[in-house]
Amino acid sequence: MKMSSSVVAYTFRHFPQLHNRSLQLFSLHRHPFRQPCTVTSSSSCSLLSAFSLTGNSFFRKMERYWAGSSINKNKGMVEHLQRYGVIQSKKVAEVMETIDRALFVPDGSPAYEDSPMQIGFNATISAPHMHATCLQLLEKNLQPGMHALDVGSGTGYLTACFALMVGPQGRAIGVEHIPELVALSVKNVEKSAAAQLLKDGSLALHVGDGREGWPEFAPYDAIHVGAAAPEIPQPLIDQLKPGGRLVIPVGNMFQELKVVDKNEDGSVTMRSETSVRYVPLTSREAQLRGY
């Protein structure tokens, strides 16, 4: 089925039914990751309208807060994500403060708004809350010296974050199938706090079909996929180290962020973290013709 570009242009937590939102917002409060800021962050699926629908005074306050948003600095963006429990650890806060998101979004874009943005080639940079969520989910597998793979690395933002976390003794590998985006991501990283790691080779950005992983530096402690796969590509599971973790959105119209842990005996355990909407993990041709 052909999806319009406005449908595929977003990477955020997905809230399918407008009329269910007030209920979802209520239950979201119980989960540390699912705080109000999470839902305000989708752009097309505007939660401001959902707030209006709830008639709840708390949400009206949030609406005013967002309307007069003071989030205009990278640190402010991070603090906001911390305040609402999306960022839970000092390490993730530090790395997101250190890698300035403004260096990775197209010129003139509102860099610190919690929203995904078009980066060309029918791709997007994910919303900050999704980057933060994935960093939190992978934090234990991004210790100094570990190996991390970022499939669908796009702007290079998350690969740069991984590189800072695994440090010069580790490996952070980005694989992206649009050569122009790889070239752009290299330029972005060169302006960022991860520039030296790129220069020294512990961070590398490659053109390739990420569904094949990147065998050269396997096995990986952490694998992140930034595009939704109809099903989990076997090479990614094969390239996961025992004790390693894969975070991948799975699905088509309806997608779930899956957390796949490889156990020491090689078996895998899988759970769903949340509903999301990502662009598809697909062939270059399909992506360039609009899926």
Write the secondary structure of 250-272 as one string of H (helix), E (strand) and C (coil). Answer: EECCCEEEEEEEECCCCCEEEEE
CA distance 151 to 147: 13
Q: Among 128, 154, 244, 251, indicate the residue that binds ligand SAH (CB under 6 A).
A: 154
Q: How far apart are CA 265 and CA 13, in angstroms?
A: 33
Is residue 279 part of the contact set for ligand SAH (CB under 6 A)?
yes
Question: Given the complex with ligand SAH, which of 50 and 210 has the nearer CB atom?
Answer: 210
By CB under 6 A, name the one of 103, 160, 175, 236 that touches ligand SAH: 175
Instruction: Rule CB under 6 A: say whether 181 interacts with ligand SAH.
Output: yes
Does 155 bind ligand SAH (CB under 6 A)? Our answer is yes
Is residue 14 involved in binding ligand SAH (CB under 6 A)? no
Of the candidate residues 135, 178, 184, 240, the single one contacting ligand SAH (CB under 6 A): 178
Closest distance to ligand SAH from the beta carbon of 278 (Å): 7
Q: Which of 255, 245, 246 is nearest to 280 (CA)?
A: 255
Preceding peptide of 168 cis, ω within 30°: no
Cβ-contact 140, 134 below 8 angstroms: no
* Rounded least distance, CB 221 to ligand SAH, Å: 18
| b/e map 103-133, b = 16+ CB within 10 Å | bbbeeebebbbbbbbebebbbbbbbbbbbbb
Identify which of 268, 214, 224 has the alpha carbon closest to the alpha carbon of residue 248.
224
Closer Cβ to ligand SAH, 175 or 205, answer by number: 175
Q: Which of 113, 114, 176, 221 binds ligand SAH (CB under 6 A)?
A: 176
Selected binder of ligand SAH within 38, 40, 126, 141 (CB under 6 A)? 126
* Residues in 187-216 that interact with ligand SAH by CB under 6 A: 209-211
Candidate list 126, 153, 185, 202, residue with the active-site label: 126
d(CA 279, CA 253): 10
Q: 265: how many CB neighbours lie within 10 A of its CB? A: 6
DSSP state of 211: G
Q: How many CB atoms within 10 Å of residue 40?
A: 25
Is the alpha carbon torsion for 242, 244, 248, 250 positive or negative? Answer: positive
Task: Name the segment binding ligand SAH (CB under 6 A); options: 2-10, 18-26, 148-156, 196-204.
Answer: 148-156
185 in catalytic set:
no
Q: Give the one residue of 40, 82, 136, 282 binding ligand SAH; rule: CB under 6 A.
A: 282
When asked if residue 244 is in the footprint of ligand SAH (CB under 6 A), the reply is: no
Residues contacting ligand SAH: total by CB under 6 A: 27
SS3 244: strand
Residue 174 near ligand SAH by CB under 6 A: no
Among 95, 123, 161, 223, interactor with ligand SAH by CB under 6 A: 123
165 binds ligand SAH (CB under 6 A): no
Catalytic residues: 126
Which residues of the shown chain bind ligand SAH in the complex (CB under 6 A)?
11, 121, 123-126, 151-155, 157-158, 175-178, 181, 209-211, 226-227, 279, 281-282, 287
